[in-house]
Amino acid sequence: MKKAALMMKDAEPMRLAQITDFHLKADSAVRARAGFPLRQLEAVVDAVNRQRPELVLVTGDISQDETAASYRLAEQALSRLDAPWYWLPGNHDQPALMEECRELYDELDLGRWRVLQLDTHVSGQPHGELGEKALGELATRLAADDRPTLLAMHHPPLPVGSAWLDEIGLADGEAFWRVVAPHRQVKAVFFGHVHQAFHGVQVLVDREVSAYGCPSTVDPFLPGSSTFALDEAARPGYRLIELSEGELETWIKRIDP
């Protein structure tokens, strides 16, 4: 397990940002369905910097063509961030190539808080899965530390209301929530994959846990669609997360590409 410790101010709220789903290709000038991936990623990076977060979570689908060159482009763009950033793989990614470009971390120690980064990538498949081993490790990690905790992953662990996306979400989502259920320190789950703003609630025996999706930097998906469709009215965006004493607030920001 790789753990990163960050120096955070104990008495003040912490601001995090989430950016996701760049779908870069080796050709930096290539166009996606809706806009130019690299250009829009760079615009989101600039917008995030203006918000002055202390940490940036990058929740997968960095690449579209799974090339080393696409990860180098991402690393160059993300290096413009004024805050430390950490990425995890999505279904379009090649984790080994990501690791060659920049390390993958399992845990981010923020002092009063921590973030556990979960790898839901399944090689060659669009859906996600943690698997029995990773779920067991998650249970152990949660039992060992009762600090307020955020979970970050690529695939949504609950339905998002779009039939085609729900078919390729986290396949072992029910098992995931069984692991989370005894651990009241888990405050929220943040994920990518859905290319849209989303807030859902998982009802557990003694509480509810929020799960949040984030807009992509490119190709926004139409919420509530039964089949694949773009949301032609949506703009690229990112999510801000503000952490205080055991509580959080989160909201979406958009940019003009």
Domain residue limits at 71: 3-254
**Whole-number average pLDDT of the chain:** 95
Q: Is 123 within 8 Å of 185 (Cβ atoms)?
A: no
Residue 11's pLDDT is 64
Q: Residue 9: pLDDT band by 50, 70, 90 thresholds?
A: low
Q: Which residues contact 201 (CB under 8 A, 6 or more apart)?
A: 208, 209, 210, 211
Closest C-alpha among 245, 254, 203, 198 to residue 221: 198
Nearest-angstrom CA–CA distance, 172 and 135: 9
List, for residues 56-94, the tens digit of each pLDDT value: 999 999 999 999 999 999 999 999 999 999 999 999 999
pLDDT (tens digit, 9 = 90+) per residue, 22-64?
999 998 888 888 889 999 999 999 999 999 999 999 999 999 9
Sheet holding 85-87, edge to edge: 85-87, 55-58, 14-19, 237-243, 248-254
Tens-place pLDDT, residues 179-189: 999 999 999 99
If DSSP codes are grouped into helix, strand and coil, which group holds residue 119? coil
Q: What is the pLDDT of residue 12?
A: 78
What are the backbone angles phi and psi of residue 200, rounded to the nearest 5°? -130, 165
- Structurally, the chain folds into a number of domains equal to 1
What is the predicted pLDDT for the residue at 28? 83
CATH number of the domain at 27, please: 3.60.21.10
User: Distance (Å, rounded) from C-alpha 151 to C-alpha 191?
Assistant: 8
Amino acid at 33: R
Please report which confidence band the pLDDT of residue 10 belongs to, taking 50, 70 and 90 as the band edges: low
For residue range 204-246, list pLDDT tens digits in order.
Answer: 999 999 999 999 999 999 999 999 999 988 999 999 999 998 8
CA distance 149 to 147: 6
pLDDT at 8 over 80: no
Question: Model's pTM, two decimal places?
Answer: 0.96
Between CA 180 and CA 243 the distance in angstroms is: 20
Dihedral-angle region of residue 137 (phi above 0 means left; psi in -120 to 50 means alpha; beta otherwise): alpha
